[in-house]
Amino acid sequence: MLFSSATFLFFYLPIFLIVYYCLPRRWHNAFLFGASLIFYAWGEGVVVAILLLSAGINYVAGSLIEHGNRRAGLWLSLVGSLSLLFYFKYSNFAMDTAQGLAKALGVSVADSMSLAHIALPIGISFYTFQGISYTLDIYWGRIRANKSFLDFGTYVAMFPHQIAGPIVRYADIAPELVERYVTIEKFGVGAERFIIGLGKKVLLANTFAKLADTIFNAPSDSYSTSTAWLGIIAYSLQIYFDFSGYSDMAIGLGKMVGFDFKENFNYPYIARSIQDFWRRWHISLSSWFRDYLYIPLGGNRGSKVRTYRNLLIVFFVTGLWHGASWNFIVWGLYHGVFQLAERAGLSKQLERVWAPLAHVYTLLVVLIGWVFFRAETLEDAIIYLQKMAGALPVPAQSTIPLAYPITYFLSQEVVGSLLLGFLFAMPVYHSFQQFWQRIQIRAGLPIIRYVMDMGYIIGLFGLFIMAVMYLAADTYNPFIYFRF
């Protein structure tokens, strides 16, 4: 079930909220846990058992650590959680890689050694990392183990953040699992955030998805170099508005039931370096790797060589976390190399140059990296990059016109969406909110502030209606996280 589906918006969510607020407060966690399992099982069926198994492993591991069996609990969490993740996400990839290596070395491989395709449970990467962070925090003495499996299961399975993040740490919401309150104002802020995220996903990300999918799925000789650049720009905007839109919806839903999830995006496309980009992009993931992998490896406390090694390990794992494909590994290491270059002195140069040049450098690095992220295979990525560089021109003897010249895509809707995408990828809305609040403070008369509030609410309602109209008129609503 998608947040941006009619089933969720007009059936699941209204029923959930009505029942949730009709129940006594002591039943809230039980209902949220059960409703989250229904949400997850809606499209996944019995695979919900994997989520429960992962939660059970980390709950027992946390209890073992709490009662003095520290190493046994830690190993149970790491081996149990990562074994589930490896089997469901990486076993096919590992087998295919091994067979490819064997064939390259001239070793014959029997067809019977191949594995049947293993379905990837949605959200397994997210709840695996949440479970591991829980047990590690207990092991390091940062938190106490939760004695209630119901409360812990609610944390793991909670549907707002379960399928697409952000990665929520137990320590951040532990007090709210015990006691939380929702005011009308907080509920309204959550509804506002949800509507904005829905608008990002439906009105912008889905439009860019159609454009990017058309170009990336077309034969390389059917479009021009400028079209190739348009395709990767469209994908860059798609993944940002899709991912940040889902994070906005998750944060909004969390507030509606009393939880305060941390921000996950901070306008990453205005970054002036790759280091800055990763401080702004998928913040919950990059901070997770910093705290639970980079620092335990030694961080930057040793020699430069050890620091560079640690960075490359982190970005290798970052790429692998996103998907079982060499494309993702190359994408992760690609970003790791630029992190190394900036640590080696490039970042100081970037601080001295004209700010727009630093922005251009960062955007070029990120755009090129997204090609590996979007392409199906490494070969496809290399061909697409060659097309972007103009190294794969259409044969001169061809008399057949290009199927996809750039003018083919530049409709009013696409141009308008691109302009809005560029605009809202910058902190324009944030500045608008600050401006709006200053006007309200200076307005003086309560009636004027009331009229302004009503105008803003009507605008949000209009955005919601527009998103619903787009959903009703177009069935194209891709779920990008199937690959993660």
Show Cβ contacts of residue 438 under 8 Å, excluding neighbours closer than 6 positions: none
Paired tokens of 111: 């067809």
Cα 164 to Cα 383: distance, rounded to the nearest angstrom: 30
Closest CA to 161 of 263, 264, 250: 250
> CA quadruple 326, 327, 329, 333: dihedral positive or negative?
positive
Q: What is the DSSP string of 281-315?
A: SSHHHHHHHIIIIIHHHTTTSS-HHHHHHHHHHHH
Paired tokens of 106: 């001239």
Paired tokens of 328: 């993702």
Q: Terminus-to-terminus CA distance in the chain, angstroms?
A: 16
What DSSP designation does 345 have? I
Q: Choose, from 161, 282, 322, 335, the residue flagged as catalytic.
A: 322
State the burial class of residue 342 (Cβ atoms within 10 Å of its Cβ: 0-12, 13-18, 19+): middle
Q: Which residue has the tokens 């594995």?
A: 115
Q: What are the distances in angstroms from CA 44 to CA 33, 180, 428? A: 16, 30, 38
Q: Is the CB of residue 48 less than 8 Å from the CB of residue 33?
A: no
Identity of residue 395? P
Closest CA to 209 of 226, 234, 227, 232: 234
Q: What is the DSSP string of 207-250?
A: HHHHHHHHHHTS-GGGB-HHHHHHHHHHHHHHHHHHHHHHHHHH
Show Cβ contacts of residue 350 under 8 Å, excluding neighbours closer than 6 positions: 272, 273, 342, 358, 361
Closest CA to 134 of 254, 28, 54: 54
Q: SS3 of 79, please?
A: helix
Mapping DSSP onto H, E and C, the string for 240-290 reads: HHHHHHHHHHHHHHHHHCCCCCCCCCCCHHHCCCHHHHHHHCCHHHHHHHH
What DSSP designation does 327 have? H
Asked about 322 being catalytic, the answer comes back as yes
**Catalytic residue numbers?**
322
